[in-house]
Each structure stands twice: as structure tokens, then as C-alpha cells.
Amino acid sequence: MATTRYILQIHCPDQKGLIAGTTQVLANAGANIIDLTQHTAKDIETFFLRAVFECEPSAAEEIQNHFESIGPHLSLTWQLHDTSKVKRLAIFVSKTDHCLYDLLLKHRDGDLPCEFSCIVSNHTELGPVGGTFGVPFYYVPSNQEKSISENRFREIIKETNSDGIVLARYMQILSAEFTEEFKYKVVNIHHGFLPAFKGAKPYHQAWRKGVKIIGATAHFATEDLDQGPIICQDVQRVPETASIDELVELGKDIEKRTLSTAVKLWLEHRVFVYEGRTFIL
């Protein structure tokens, strides 16, 4: 019988024998471990483990039943992911297209293990991009009550069987109700290393102050704007001679690579969120 690849995520209070116990469970079920990464955060006495393994589906069911039985005893939080079930992600955009194109191109090249189910925008300009890549495009105007827009988002997510959302420079704020409903299922990109330059044209503001380093932060969206658990960050030095246009291009480049890296980490189930803090394994 053909085997399937699975990814197991575990976190729990630290205690002896967790690695040995986990590998024994997998071995007893006939699983072949491909990769195993673990970390103990000593400051909070919490153990994290990510295991990639292959086994028959019946063995995966045996493993699942075992963790269900021991989970309460060990205060175990765990998830078992079947990698043959590809995640479907909706991309939300406004008018800026660099992150959108980067995601679609990386997916076309096989770098992102997902399907992009749709593109949702509060403007119509990027509609043709969806046609080029064969991804359905939905226009949801933002000049209406937020609740109306977000109810439409829910309909689209259901219609397209989407498992999560990537905010690829979507320039609208999501409500607390929406982000809580899709908790840790919405990834956002933010020019997070420009904290002093809020509002319109942050790179222009930064250039006028002679900024030396720029960066970006990809994080889970929460009700606190740009304050959600961080998945990925990156920085880049700015040449002293850079013009405003050159700074904007540097900013776009770091935004798109930070976002795509974060999406890949998320899709590969490397992201653990514990009390609002992320651990990447």
C-alpha cells in the first residue's frame, strides 16, 4: 500500500522522555521518520517538536489515536497534518502588485506547496493578473460598511474552499471579529522596520530622515494592527546615495521575499504559536 507523508507538531510542558516517547510511537506504527526538529524553551519550560514522517494512512490513524489518548495526561497540544491535502489560500490585495506577482510566480515554479484559490481586492486594477495565472478574481469594494465587506469575504472563502488568507499589501484594516474567526490563518506583510514612519508613503518619510536600514515583518493578523505574532523578518542596508525611487524598490523587494518566506514556513507547518509568541522549527 502507498505511503503518505505527514507532519506532526507538538508542544507541551517540558519533561523527560518526550523525544524518545514520540519516536517510539512512530516506530511502533511503522512510520519512517524523514526529519525531526525539537526545541525546549527553558525560560517558559515548554517543549516543541516537528516531525516529518511517511507511513500508510491506517498507521497515521493509529498514531492519531495514541496522541488523543495521552494528550490530556501530558498537557499536550498537537496537530497531525496530511501533506497530500494541499492548502488553498486566498490572496487579498489593493493596488500594489509586487507581493502578488511574487507569490503567484513562486507557486508556478513549485516553491510554495499550496494552491491559490482566489484573488480578492478592493480595487479592480489587478483583475487581469488573476486571468493571466488562472486564479479567480473577486472585487469587494471598501466604500461600504466593514461588516458587509467581511460577510462577502466569508462567502468567497466558503465558495473557493479556502483554508487561509495572505494579505499581499491589502490596504484595509480587518475587524477584531474577522481576525479572531480566522485566528492564525491570516498572514500579513508590514514595513515593520519603519516604526517611526506611519501613514502615507512611509518610504518617502524614511528617505527624508536619511534612514540607514529598512526591513519588513510578516506576521499573523490580529485585532491589533501590525502587532500579531511574527513569522519572518528581514532587513537590508540602504546606500547613502539611494534615491527615493531606489529606496522604494529596495522596500518592495524585501517585502515580497519576507512574505513569501513566511507563507512557505506556514505551509510547511514550521510555525508554532505559544501565548502570542512564535517559535519556528
Task: Indicate whether 72 and 21 sit together in one domain.
Answer: yes
| Lowest-confidence pick of 11-15, 22-26, 48-52, 190-194 | 190-194
Which of 204 and 107 is assigned the larger pLDDT? 107
pLDDT band for position 192 (cuts 50, 70, 90) = low
Where is the domain boundary, 82, 105, 139? 82
The yes-or-no answer on residue 14 being catalytic is no
Find the CATH number of the domain harbouring 9: 3.30.70.260
Find the CATH number of the domain harbouring 246: 3.40.50.170
Where is the domain boundary, 82, 104, 136? 82
pLDDT digits 0-9 by tens, 130-166: 999 999 999 999 999 999 999 999 999 999 999 999 9
- What pLDDT score does 196 carry? 56
pLDDT at 198 over 80: no
Residue 198: half-sphere exposure toward Cβ, Cα within 13 Å: 4
pLDDT digits 0-9 by tens, 27-77: 999 999 999 999 999 999 999 999 999 999 999 999 999 999 998 989 999
Exposure b/e, 23-55, CB count within 10 A at least 16 = b? bebbeebebeeeebeeeeeeeeebbbbbbbbbb
Range of the domain at 47: 4-82
Task: Indicate whether 141 and 237 sit together in one domain.
Answer: yes
- What pLDDT score does 130 carry? 95
235 closest CA partner among 257, 214, 259: 214
Task: Quote the CA–CA distance of 216 and 70 in Å, as a whole number.
Answer: 40
Task: Indicate whether 122 and 155 sit together in one domain.
Answer: yes
Grid cell of 222 as nine digits: 490580529
Task: Indicate whether 99 and 124 sit together in one domain.
Answer: yes
Answer whether 0.75 is exceeded by the pTM: yes
pLDDT band for position 1 (cuts 50, 70, 90) = low
Task: Quote the CA–CA distance of 269 and 273 in Å, as a whole number.
Answer: 11
Q: Within 10 Å of residue 87's Cβ, how many Cβ atoms?
A: 20
Which of 50 and 197 is assigned the larger pLDDT? 50
Please provide the average confidence, as pLDDT, over all residues in the chain.
93
pLDDT digits 0-9 by tens, 124-135: 999 999 999 999
- What pLDDT score does 28 carry? 95
Task: Indicate whether 111 and 63 sit together in one domain.
Answer: no
Task: Indicate whether 99 and 140 sit together in one domain.
Answer: yes
Q: Compute the average pLDDT of residues 183-201.
A: 77
Task: Indicate whether 150 and 188 sit together in one domain.
Answer: yes
pLDDT at 97 over 80: yes
Handedness of CA 39, 281, 232, 210 (dihedral sign): positive
Q: Compute the average pLDDT of residues 201-216.
A: 82
Where is the domain boundary, 55, 82, 109? 82
- What pLDDT score does 194 carry? 47
Q: Residue 43 has what DSSP assignment?
A: T
pLDDT band for position 223 (cuts 50, 70, 90) = confident
258 closest CA partner among 189, 164, 197: 189
Residue partners of 269: CB distance under 8 A and separation at least 6:
7, 9, 50, 79, 81
268 closest CA partner among 3, 1, 85, 7: 7
Task: Indicate whether 42 and 121 sit together in one domain.
Answer: no
Instruction: Given the residues 35, 226, 234, 253, select the one marked as catalytic.
Output: 226
Task: Indicate whether 137 and 204 sit together in one domain.
Answer: yes
pLDDT band for position 2 (cuts 50, 70, 90) = confident
pLDDT digits 0-9 by tens, 227-275: 889 999 999 899 999 998 998 999 999 999 999 999 999 999 999 999 9
pLDDT band for position 225 (cuts 50, 70, 90) = confident
Task: Indicate whether 236 and 104 sit together in one domain.
Answer: yes
Task: Indicate whether 95 and 230 sit together in one domain.
Answer: yes
Distances (CA, A) of 112 to 109, 233, 262, 263: 8, 18, 11, 8
Residue partners of 13: CB distance under 8 A and separation at least 6:
45, 46, 47, 74, 75
Task: Indicate whether 174 and 262 sit together in one domain.
Answer: yes
Domain count for the chain: 2
pLDDT band for position 112 (cuts 50, 70, 90) = very high
